[in-house]
């Protein structure tokens, strides 16, 4: 059969019905009644006769280019691949990648992973997404996000006094990109080298804390600042108890016994490091505050409810944000209260075991020592009441004297 030429193609006139001109080896040109001319390739794959369009019509796709494309497809068939299936996959990949923004990937990741999370974890991760990750990255294509961009993003969170949030944000970014790569939405991993552009967090950076001598001015500023009473209350409760910020802001009313002045954290409680159980004696000042707060939030689950959603707890950046407004950015953090209290109590000569237990260091089920649980708790109760009384005295400008220890 003679080879198809450009002259034959140009001279091919439309007819009432479409007809074909053979280009050899399965290549044909289909001439439509409206004069349009389309390339087709017939081939056999897995024992079946198949036909595939070469895409653009003539003359957009010239005879020479059509022959080259047909030859490429025949090579694929010879190698055991179906050109039609390959085209479908390529189109799917292009469509997927075009839609693969961080926002799409993050929402798919959250929907998938949240099935295995407790409601509290879902709420917490949702908060990180809505407040920190999505506003900055939602519309960004996954393939366009760089390590330097993410480093600047994480530093921005740290600069607002929320290093723990920055750490969780980096963990969330890593999980989203891992999920996206597994789905073929991207091949990029901008989080992998993120550590190289983030300074290692030091205790001074993460848990900055004042000295005992700085407390009078700090407490007076905290008392006078115009801020949410719930945020101020969470800050004071942290100062009175030395509990971790995450545990304090997510305190639930069913954990509090105001008559018994006791805060009970059950084993496995979220936001509690390693899920340890913990008993926290509440000084009189804390009980008074909680009774006042109960009038505001007592009908909800959480003591310190969220600003925008009372069904959720106070955000994890609220107290640090307050400290920043007070002028203590880089000088005092919510977690730093624990260091301040530990330093003060140890310097006053309290038993280190009492202090360590108050800070919930170590598994209480493995504690062995002189004191049984009840007596041990009472010693801590006396210690923390003395600490709360001390804070009251220095706040109002009373004479600063050493804490009185129980024998």
Mean pLDDT of the chain: 85
Among candidate residues 201, 226, 259, the one where a domain is terminated: 201
Q: Which domain holds residue 219?
A: 212-395
58 and 79 housed in the same domain: yes
As given in the structure block, the two tokens for residue 217 are 């001015």
* 313 touches 250 (CB < 8 A): yes
Average pLDDT over residues 355-376: 62
SS (H, E, C) the chain: CCCCCHHHHHHCCCCCCCEEEEEECCEEEEECCCCCEEEEEEEEECCEEEEEECCCCECCCCHHHHHHHHHHHHHHHHCCCCHHHHHHHHHHHHHHHHHCEHHHHHHHHHHHHHHHCCHHHHHHHHHHHHHHHHHHHCCCEHHHCCHHHHHHHHHHHHHCCCHHHHHHHHHHHHHHHHHHHHCCCCCCCCCCCHHHHCCCCCHHHHCCCCCHHHHHHHHHHHHHCCCCHHHHHHHHHHHHHCCCHHHHHCCEHHHEECCCCEEEECCCCCCCHHHCCEEEECCHHHHHHHHHHHHHHCCCCECCECCCCCCCECCCCHHHHHHHHCCCCCCCCCCHHHHHHHHHHHHCCCCHHHHHHHCCCCCHHHCCCCCCHHHHHHHHHHHHHHHHHHHHHHHCCCCCCCCCCCC
Average pLDDT over residues 349-378: 69
Peptide linkage before 59 cis (omega within 30 of 0) = yes
Average pLDDT over residues 32-58: 89
Among candidate residues 201, 227, 250, the one where a domain is terminated: 201
Catalytically active residues are 244, 273, 335, 338, 361, 371
pLDDT grade, residue 374 (50/70/90)? very low
152 and 288 housed in the same domain: no
Residue 91 included in any domain: no
- Per-residue pLDDT of 79-108, as tens digits, reads 888 888 878 777 666 655 555 889 989 999
282 and 355 housed in the same domain: yes
Residue 340 included in any domain: yes
Residue 405 included in any domain: no
Q: Rounded distance, CA 395 to CA 352, Å?
A: 26
181 and 279 housed in the same domain: no
Q: Which is higher by pLDDT, 97 or 183?
A: 183
Lowest mean pLDDT among 162-166, 199-203, 352-356: 199-203
Cβ-count burial of 150 within 10 angstroms (0-12 exposed, 13-18 middle, 19+ buried)?
buried
As given in the structure block, the two tokens for residue 71 are 């030859």
169 and 281 housed in the same domain: no
248 and 371 housed in the same domain: yes
190 and 323 housed in the same domain: no
């Amino acid at each position: 059969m003679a080879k198809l030429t450009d002259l034959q193609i140009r001279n091919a006139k439309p007819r009432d019905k479409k007809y074909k001109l053979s280009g050899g080896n399965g290549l044909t040109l289909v001439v439509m009644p409206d004069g349009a001319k389309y390339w087709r390739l017939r081939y056999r794959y897995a024992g079946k006769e198949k036909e595939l369009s070469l895409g653009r019509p003539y003359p957009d796709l010239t005879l020479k280019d059509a022959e080259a494309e047909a030859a490429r497809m025949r090579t694929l068939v010879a190698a055991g691949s179906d050109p039609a299936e390959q085209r479908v996959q390529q189109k799917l990949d292009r469509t997927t990648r075009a839609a693969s923004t961080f926002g799409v990937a993050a929402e798919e990741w959250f929907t998938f992973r949240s099935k295995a999370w407790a409601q509290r974890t879902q709420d917490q991760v949702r908060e990180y997404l809505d407040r920190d990750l999505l506003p900055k990255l939602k519309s960004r294509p996954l393939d366009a996000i760089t390590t330097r961009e993410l480093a600047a993003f994480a530093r921005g969170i740290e600069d607002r006094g929320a290093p723990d949030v920055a750490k969780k944000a980096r963990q969330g970014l890593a999980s989203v990109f891992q999920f996206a790569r597994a789905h073929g939405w991207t091949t990029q991993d901008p989080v992998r080298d993120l550590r190289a552009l983030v300074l290692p967090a030091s205790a001074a950076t993460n848990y900055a804390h004042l000295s005992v001598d700085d407390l009078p001015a700090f407490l007076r500023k905290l008392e006078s600042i115009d801020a949410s009473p719930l945020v101020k209350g969470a800050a004071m409760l942290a100062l009175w108890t030395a509990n971790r910020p995450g545990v304090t802001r997510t305190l639930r009313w069913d954990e509090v016994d105001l008559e018994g002045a006791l805060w009970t954290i059950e084993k496995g409680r979220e936001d509690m490091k390693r899920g340890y159980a913990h008993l926290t004696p509440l000084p009189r000042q804390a009980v008074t505050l909680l009774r006042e707060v109960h009038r505001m939030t007592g009908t909800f689950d959480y003591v310190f409810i969220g600003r925008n959603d009372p069904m959720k707890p106070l955000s994890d950046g609220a107290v640090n944000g307050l400290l920043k407004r007070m002028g203590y950015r880089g000088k005092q953090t919510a977690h730093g209260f624990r260091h301040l209290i530990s330093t003060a109590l140890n310097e006053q000569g309290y038993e280190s075991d009492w202090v360590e237990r108050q800070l919930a260091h170590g598994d209480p089920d493995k504690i062995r020592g002189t004191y049984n649980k009840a007596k041990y708790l009472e010693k801590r109760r006396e210690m923390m009441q003395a600490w709360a009384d001390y804070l009251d005295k220095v706040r109002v400008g009373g004479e600063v004297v050493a804490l009185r220890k129980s024998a």
